[in-house]
Amino acid sequence: MPPVPHVPGPPGDSGRTHVLPTAYRLGDTGPAVAEVRHKLSLLGLLGDEPGGSGHPVESRYDQDVDRAVREFQQQRGITVDGVVGSLTYRLLDEARWRLGDRILSYAVSHLMAGDDVAVLQQRLLDMGFDCGRVDGIFGRETAAALQEFQRNVGLVADGTCGPATLKALDRLTHTVVGGRPHALRDDAMLHASGPVLAGRVVVLDPGHGGPDRGVVAHGYDEAVIVEDIASRIEGRLAATGVFAFLTRGSDMDIDEAERAAFANAAEADLVISLHVDASTSPRATGVATYYYGNDRYGHSSAIGERFAGLVQREVVARTDLTDCRTHGKTWDLLRRTRMPAVRIEVGYLTSGGDAARLADADFRDAVADGIVAAMHRLYLPPDDDAETGTFRIPEALVKPR
Within the chain, how many helices (H) and strands (E) appear? Answer: 14, 9
Q: Max CA-CA distance within the chain?
A: 77
Cα separation, 200 vs 222, whole angstroms = 28
Contact 139, 106 (CB under 8 A): yes
pLDDT at 390: 64
Please give the CATH topology (third level) of the domain spanning 188-398: Aminopeptidase (3.40.630)
Length of the chain: 401
| 344: helix, strand or coil | strand
For position 294, what pLDDT does the model report?
81
Q: Identify the CA nearest to 131 among candidates 178, 123, 23.
A: 123
Task: Please report the pLDDT score of residue 391 as a whole number.
Answer: 63
pLDDT for the residue 19: 37
Q: Does domain 115-177 have CATH number 1.10.101.10?
A: yes
Q: Are 146 and 120 in contact (CB under 8 A)?
A: yes
CA distances from 75 to 70, 79, 92, 243, 376 (A): 9, 10, 11, 37, 33
List b or e across 58-69, with b for residues whose CB sees 16 or more CB atoms inside 10 angstroms: beebeeebbebb
Q: Rounded to an integer, what distance in angstroms lies between the CA atom of residue 158 and that of residue 142? A: 12
Domain positions in the chain are 31-84, 115-177, 188-398
Q: Which residues of the chain have pLDDT under 70?
A: 1-21, 48-57, 173-189, 191-192, 297-298, 382-401
